[in-house]
Amino acid sequence: TGACTVKVTAASTPSSASRTLRLASGSVGGSTVGNATITGTPSTVTYKIPSAGTYYLYSTRNGIYVYQVNVAY
């Protein structure tokens, strides 16, 4: 479709660690759209996707629980 906003609720494990949650276009390791630091407390982060395409959401170092993903056009 086109540009959208992605909201992700996530927390790291173990709770004492901080992790990076990355959204990339095209492939894992592709062009980074955004990074968010995830801590042990569940929180919501927002990514703005500029155009239609294939996007990947992943931890750069394991240990992230993803509780919810919302996409709004």
Q: What is the pTM of this model?
A: 0.92
pLDDT given for residue 39 in this prediction? 96
pLDDT given for residue 1 in this prediction? 75
pLDDT given for residue 20 in this prediction? 97
What value does the mean pLDDT of the chain take?
96
Instruction: Kindly state the percentage of the chain with pLDDT values over 70.
Output: 100
Q: What are phi and psi of 50, to 5 degrees?
A: -80, -25
Rounded to 10 degrees, the C-alpha dihedral 28/5/42/22 comes to: 20
Query: pLDDT confidence of 29, banded at 50, 70, 90?
Result: very high
